[in-house]
Amino acid sequence: MDIRLPELDPVTHSQTLFRWLGILTLFVWGTIFLYFYLSGRVVNYLADGFRPAALLGGLFLYVLATFNLLTVRAGKPAAACGHSHATAACGHDHANEADHEHTHSHHHGSLARARDIDELVDTPETAHSGCDHGPEAHSHDHRHEDPGVAGVLVSFFILLAPVLAAASFTRDQFFDKAIINRGLYSGVATAAGAERFWQDKTPAAGEIGNFTLADLETLVDRSAEGNYLLDLVSIFYAAGDVELQRVLTGLPVETTGQILPERANNEDGRRLRLFRLFMECCANDMRPLGIPIEFKDPAPQLREKSWVKVIGKLRFPTEDGVTVSVLEVDQIEPTEEPRERLLN
Amino acid sequence: MSPEFTEFLQSFSFGFLSMVLEGLPFILAGTIVSGFIDAYLPQSFLDRVLPKNAVRAVLIGGLLGLILPVCECAIVPVIRRLIQRGLPVSCALAYMLASPVVNPLVAASTWIAFPDKDPDATIVFFNEVMTLSRLSLGYLTAILVGLVAIRLPASRILRDRVLRSIGRPLPQGAAMPSAAPGQGESRDHRSTALPSGPDIRPVLAMRTAMSDCLDTAMYFFIGCAITTLFNNEVPRESILPLAQNDWLAVPGLMFFAFVSSLCSTSDAFVAASLATFSAASKLAFLVFGPMVDIKLVFMYSAVFRIRFVWLLVTSLFLLVGALCLVWGQIPWTSAFPNSIP
C-alpha cells in the first residue's frame, strides 16, 4: 500500500507513516487520558495529587497532536522538478533533499544545505547521519537504519496495542492473586505508618506520644450508635504505636472493607481478612492493608472481595512475633462499594 | 479463555494502565521541554554557563536537580537534547542520576515518610538523617559516575544517532553556535549554516517533542509491562527472608526497587512501610531505585549504548550497595533499630 502523499513527496514511506501514525497515536493516548479522567474512572488509578497531571497530560497530547497535524507540511518545500527523490539512483536515500540544486549529477556538496525541517528532527530509529564515506565525504543524511514501513508498524504496535488493550481489558481493580501477591498477608504496621495515618487524629502537635481517649473523642467522628468511625488504614497502623493500642483496645469501632479468607491462626475458621487497598501514586504501587476480623462462631460465608461494614471491638495481640490489629466482630453487613476503591 | 487467565489479564491491564496514566504526562512534559531545548537553546549558552573545568561541571551537574527538579521519567529526553546542545556527557550523567534524588520534592516526601523519632532509638532525628543521607549518597553516587564518565569517550557511551546530532545548529532565526571555524563541521556535518526562510523553530520544537515522546514512551511501556508483571505475579513474601541480614537485605531491596519501578516522589513511603528491613537497606532502596529501574533501563537505551546501560546498572548496583553497607556500619546508625517496629 503506497501511503505516501503527493504533497509530502520528499519524505520516505516510513517517515511519512511515522509522522501520521505519531499524530494518530497522540490523539489516541489523549482520548484515553481524557476519557478516564472525565468518566471519573481515574480515581481508581491515580492518587489525588496525580489526577490533574492526567488531565493536563490528555490536553497536552491533544495540543501536541493538533499542532503537528496543522504543521505537517511546514518546512517541506515542494520539489520543483516534479519527481520523487525518494529513490535516488546512487543507492542512498535522498528523500529529504528535494530542494538541492539537483542536476542529476549528484553534486553532494549542495545536499548538505537541505532546508527540510525533517533533517533537524531525529525520527526514532529511522534516521542517522554522519557516515564516513571516504574521500568523497558526502555528509548528507541518509538512512542506513531506516527500518522501513514494517519497522515503523512494529514500533506503533508497541505504542498503541498495549495501551488500547489495557484500556479495554481493565476492570479498574486487581483480582485476588495480584492482591495476595502484593502482600495482603504480610503487611506489618510500622511506627512510621502510625505517625503518618494518625497525624490528623492527634492533637495539634501531631505527636502520638500522649494520645488519650479525650483526643479520640474530639478528633474522630462517631456513628449514631456511638461507634468510632475509623478507616481500615488507621486501624491497621494503630498496631504500630503502643499509645494508640492502649487507647483503642476494647473500643467499639465501625469500618468498611473487602473480604478474603484468613490464612494464619485460623484453625477454627472463625476469622476472615478485612482489607483495603492503598496507593501512594498509582495503582501499580498499591499495597493491601488487611486485618483479621474474628467471629464468636465460625465465620459466615461471604462472597470473596465483597464490601462489608463491620462493627466490633479492637484488640492488639502479638501473633507470630508481630503486633496486629484484630477486630472482634459484633455486627457485619454488606455495604455499597465506595466510589474510590483504593485509598490514598 | 479461562477465568484465571481473564483475571490475570484484567489485573495486568489495571496495573499497566495506572503506570501509563501516572508516567506519560511527565514524559510528555519532559519531551516538550526537550523539543524547545532542541529548537531554541544555542550551544553557546551552555558553553557560557558551565565551568570550563570538567570536574567542576560534574559537581554542579549533580546539583542541578535542586533548581531544575525533573523526575526520572522526564529526565531522559531532557538530557538527550541537552547533550545535543553541548552539555558534556559526564555532566549530563551526573544530572540525570542525581535529579530524581537530589531535588526538593523528594527531600520533602522522604522527610514526611519516616518518623521523626523512633520509639526504640536514642537518636530522635530519624527522618532528618534518612533524608540527608538519601540526598548525600544520591549526589555522591551521581558525581562519581560523572567523574568516571569524563575519562570515557562519548562514542562508548552514546548511541550513534545521539552522538552524531551533537552540535546540530539551531534552525533559522535562532542564535547560531559560536563554535570555532571547522569545529562544528568536525562534530556534525549538519552544522552547516541553514539558508534564510520562515522561522521554523516552533514547528521543530513540537515535532521534536512528538518524536521524543513516542521514542521514550515505547521503552517506557516495555518497562511498565515487565514491572506490572512482577508486582502482580511475584509474592511480596519472597523478599522478606532477605531482611534477616544486611548483606542480603541491601541488595535485596535494591533489586526490589529495580523491579517495582516506583516514582521517586513517593517511594519513601513504600520504604518506610518495609517493617522488617534495616535502615541501611531502605536507604539503598531510596538511592538506587530513582537511578535505575526496569523502565529506566529501557528508557536509557534510547540515548545510551546498550553495553553502557548495563555497565551503568551494574556499577550503580555495586556502588550504592557498598556505600549503604558502609553507612550501616557507622556507629550512630546503631541507634536505629534493625527493624522499625
**How far does the CA of residue B235 sit from the closest CA of chain A (Å)?**
4
Mean predicted lDDT score pLDDT of chain A: 79
**How far does the CA of residue A113 sit from the closest CA of chain B (Å)?**
6
Q: How far apart are CA A242 and CA A231, in angstroms?
A: 19
Q: What is the mean pLDDT of each run of 10 residues along chain B (341 residues)?
A: 92 96 93 90 81 92 86 88 90 94 90 67 69 96 96 93 77 41 34 55 91 90 92 88 86 93 85 82 95 93 94 97 90 50 35
Q: What is the pLDDT of residue B184?
A: 32
Split at pLDDT 50, 70, 90, the class of A57 is very high
Q: Smallest Cβ distance to A191: which of B19, B225, B340?
A: B340
Cell numbers linked to A263: 490464612
Task: Count each helix (H run) and each strand (E run) in chain A, helices first.
Answer: 9, 9
Cα Dmax for chain A: 95
Taking the Cβ of residue B3 and every Cβ of chain A, the question of whether any pair is shorter than 8 Å is answered with no
CA distances from A96 to A36, A127, B159, B163, B207 (A): 40, 11, 23, 21, 16
C-alpha torsion A232→A234→A239→A244, nearest 10: -140
Residue A207 pLDDT > 80: no
Q: How far apart are CA A188 and CA A84, in angstroms?
A: 68
Taking the Cβ of residue A214 and every Cβ of chain B, the question of whether any pair is shorter than 8 Å is answered with no
Q: Each residue of A13-30: pLDDT tens digit?
A: 777 888 899 999 999 999
Q: What is the pLDDT of residue A317?
A: 96
**How far does the CA of residue A226 sit from the closest CA of chain B (Å)?**
31
ipTM of this predicted structure: 0.79
Q: Smallest Cβ distance to B210: which of A26, A44, A183?
A: A26
User: Rounded mean pLDDT of A284-301?
Assistant: 94
> Can you give the pTM of this predicted structure?
0.80
Give residues with Cβ within 8 angstroms of B247, minimum separation 6.
B325
Taking the Cβ of residue B123 and every Cβ of chain A, the question of whether any pair is shorter than 8 Å is answered with no
Residues in chain A with CB shorter than 8 Å from the CB of B188 are 129-130
Whether the CB-CB separation of A97 and A52 falls below 8 Å is answered with no
Whether the CB-CB separation of B55 and B147 falls below 8 Å is answered with yes
Q: Residue B221 and residue A162: Cβ atoms within 8 Å?
A: yes
CA-nearest residue to A173 within chain B is B14
Which of B47 and A127 is assigned the larger pLDDT? B47
Indicate which of A27, A61, A122, A153 best probes the interface with B, i.e. most B CBs within 10 Å of its own CB: A122
Q: Residue B21 and residue A42: Cβ atoms within 8 Å?
A: yes
Q: How far apart are CA A163 and CA B23, in angstroms?
A: 13
**How far does the CA of residue A197 sit from the closest CA of chain B (Å)?**
11
Q: Each residue of B105-155: pLDDT tens digit?
A: 899 889 888 876 654 454 457 788 899 999 999 999 999 999 999 999 999
Q: How far apart are CA B54 and CA B67, in angstroms?
A: 20
First to last CA, chain A: 50
Cell numbers linked to B288: 538506587
Indicate which of A21, A113, A120, A142 best probes the interface with B, i.e. most B CBs within 10 Å of its own CB: A120
Q: Which helix (H) or strand (E) holds B281?
A: helix B279-288
Taking the Cβ of residue A67 and every Cβ of chain B, the question of whether any pair is shorter than 8 Å is answered with yes
Which of B199 and A100 is assigned the larger pLDDT? B199
Q: Each residue of A190-199: pLDDT tens digit?
A: 888 888 888 7
Question: Chain B neighbours among A 278-317 (CB < 8 Å)?
Answer: 280-287
Q: Around Cβ B241, how many Cβ atoms within 10 Å?
A: 12
C-alpha torsion A122→A126→A130→A131, nearest 10: 170
Q: How far apart are CA A334 and CA A344, in angstroms?
A: 23
User: Rounded mean pLDDT of A59-65?
Assistant: 97
Match 521541554 to its residue by C-alpha cell: B33
Indicate which of A17, A27, A56, A121 best probes the interface with B, i.e. most B CBs within 10 Å of its own CB: A121
**How far does the CA of residue A331 sit from the closest CA of chain B (Å)?**
31
Whether the CB-CB separation of B289 and B258 falls below 8 Å is answered with yes
Q: Residue B266 and residue A167: Cβ atoms within 8 Å?
A: no
Q: What is the pLDDT of residue B112?
A: 82
Cell numbers linked to B184: 562544528
Q: Around Cβ B315, how many Cβ atoms within 10 Å?
A: 15
